[in-house]
């Protein structure tokens, strides 16, 4: 890696493991690549495999000549788990237990699945606002963090509260 490569910003993008946030953050990642930045896109293994199986992600990345890299993290759930919307909070909790230590390793430069010795260090993190634990990791490592919300607060409220309202018997509404 030459001195010029070391000066190029390297952004780690970590989206919420839902289709719309992943797609929005992929578009952001591509814009950053077009601006000359390096991007490592951290996705769950489950969603990574879905991207490879159901999209043209690899051909999209090829145009960025190594500046756009995909990395994956386990979400902590069994492979056969359906990962439904009803499990949203369970998925987030499980992901946190695995992703927090994984991020520390990645940001220390100790863990990338491919070509780690040639990758410059991460200089900025863009993470979904639901990943509050990323703030602690970023502060420990001295790396700037941008929380990026890709879903509306109303939608987030639904994901977080509806399962609890159903469990409490408040939903579905009873009566006439």
Which domains, and CATH codes, for the chain?
3-167 (3.40.50.2000)
Enter the tokens of residue 148.
């990026």
Closest alpha carbon to 50 in 34, 70, 28, 29? 70
Computed over its alpha carbons, how large is the radius of gyration of the chain? 18
The confidence score (pLDDT) of residue 161 equals: 87
CA distance 60 to 48: 14
Sequential pLDDT tens for the chain (176 residues): 555 656 899 999 999 998 889 999 999 999 999 999 999 999 999 999 999 999 999 888 899 998 999 999 999 999 999 888 778 889 999 999 999 999 998 888 765 544 455 678 999 999 999 899 999 999 999 999 999 988 888 887 887 888 889 899 998 888 76
Q: Is the pTM of this model over 0.85?
A: no
For residue 78, how many other CB atoms are within 10 A of its CB? 7
Enter the tokens of residue 31.
């814009």
The confidence score (pLDDT) of residue 113 equals: 45
The predicted-structure confidence for 94-103, as pLDDT tens digits, reads as follows 999 999 999 9
């Amino acid at each position: 890696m030459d001195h010029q490569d070391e000066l190029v910003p390297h952004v780690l993008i970590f989206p919420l493991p839902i289709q719309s946030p992943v797609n929005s953050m992929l578009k952001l990642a591509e814009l950053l690549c077009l601006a000359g930045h390096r991007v490592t896109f951290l996705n769950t293994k489950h969603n990574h495999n879905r991207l490879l199986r159901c999209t043209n992600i690899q051909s999209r990345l090829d145009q960025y000549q190594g500046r756009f890299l995909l990395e994956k993290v386990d979400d902590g759930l069994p492979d056969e788990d359906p990962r439904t919307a009803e499990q949203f909070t369970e998925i987030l909790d499980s992901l946190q237990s695995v992703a927090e230590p994984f991020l520390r390793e990645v940001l220390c430069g100790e863990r990338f699945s491919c070509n780690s010795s040639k990758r410059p260090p991460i200089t900025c993190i863009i993470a979904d606002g639901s990943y509050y634990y990323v703030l602690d990791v970023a502060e420990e490592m001295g790396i700037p963090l941008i929380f990026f919300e890709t879903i509306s607060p109303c939608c987030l409220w639904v994901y977080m509260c509806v399962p609890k309202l159903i469990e409490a018997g408040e939903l579905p509404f009873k009566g006439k």
